[in-house]
Amino acid sequence: MKVEIWSDVMCPFCYIGKRKLEQALQSLEFKDNIQIIWKSYQLNPDLETNLEASIYHYLSEEKGMPMEHVRSMIQRVSEMAKEVGIAMHFDRQVIANSFLAHRLSHLAKKWNVQHACEEALFLAHFSEGKNIDDTKVISEIGANLGISDSEIQELFESDVYSNDVIQDQYEAKNVGVRGVPHFVFNDKYVVSGAQDASVFAGALRQSFGEWKSVQNEPSTPGNSCDLDGNCN
């Protein structure tokens, strides 16, 4: 059964939500039957990578919030992340456009390492203070995942997987994504935001039960005609 996740590497709640979903899966006996598919969503597609600006000043200017409010908000998010075993170092964070990172995620999907790729991108951005819009960082992540160097270089020299990112964002509008993270279970049940692990477990049990019942239903042939013209 598939679980689709619309997410942006820049979103701290997407990283926290990922961890809470993983916590929910660990408690379920059918966890090996779940396929997780990451979908691209850019919170700020026009963002220009800036190696000089701090996340504090960026949020204060972008959102028009007082610096005290920004620091309080970041502290609260850091504590939420710590509760699920994530160390977020916002003082190191690089303001970076996430388009290249999303393209890498689509390449990683081809290599069946997309979930690990998302973890590596989140870790690089939030914990290690790396620039996820830098080709050296992307190359390093791709190499650690076992992706061929030639395909990684193709990301930098062409627009491969750009349309996939754009298509995901177009699809997000069609399915009613208003913010990320946005989880869709078995094309039916939706969980928005970094909910508690118990919420994810409930959605997984409900959707998996329905999915499994459909898989077990015997197929009843309908009326048809064959190549010899025999119809029944």
- Residue 36: domain span: 2-206
Is the peptide bond between 181 and the residue preceding it cis, with omega within 30 degrees of 0?
yes
Residues 25-41 pLDDT 10s: 998 999 999 999 999 99
- For 145, residues 6+ apart whose C-beta sits below 8 A from its C-beta are 108, 111, 113, 116, 117, 120
Please state, in angstroms and as integers, the Cα–Cα distance from residue 102 to each residue in 117, 118, 138, following that order.
10, 9, 10
**Is 146 within a domain?**
yes
Exposed/middle/buried for 213, CB within 10 Å: 0-12, 13-18, 19+?
Answer: exposed
- Is 220 within a domain? no
DSSP 47: P
Going by C-alpha positions, the residue among 35, 40, 16, 39 that lies closest to residue 25 is: 35
Number of folded domains in the chain? Answer: 1
Is residue 216 domain-resident?
no
* % of the chain surpassing 90 pLDDT: 89
CA distances from 226 to 70, 88, 115, 231 (A): 68, 62, 44, 7
Contact assessment for residue 48 and residue 98, using Cβ atoms and an 8 Å cutoff: no
Residue 29's CATH number: 3.40.30.10
The verdict on residue 227 lying in a domain is no
Q: What is the pTM of this model?
A: 0.91
At which residue do the structure tokens 């997984």 appear? 204
The answer to whether position 230 is within a domain reads no
Confidence (pLDDT) at 5: 98
Please report the pLDDT score of residue 216 as a whole number. 65
Does residue 86 surpass a pLDDT of 80? Answer: yes
Q: Is residue 16 situated within a structural domain?
A: yes
Residue 219 located in a structural domain: no
Name which of 51-55, 61-65, 108-112, 153-157 the model is least confident about.
61-65
Region 164-178: what's the mean pLDDT? 94
The whole-number pLDDT of residue 100 equals 98
Residue 192 lies in a domain: yes
- pLDDT, residue 144, reads 98
Q: Is 182 helix (H, G, I), strand (E, B) or coil?
A: strand
Q: Provide the pLDDT for residue 63.
A: 87
pLDDT in tens, 186-232: 999 999 999 999 999 999 999 999 999 987 655 455 556 655 556 66
Amino acid letter, 210 = E
* Alpha-carbon dihedral 39, 40, 43, 46, rounded to 10 degrees: -170
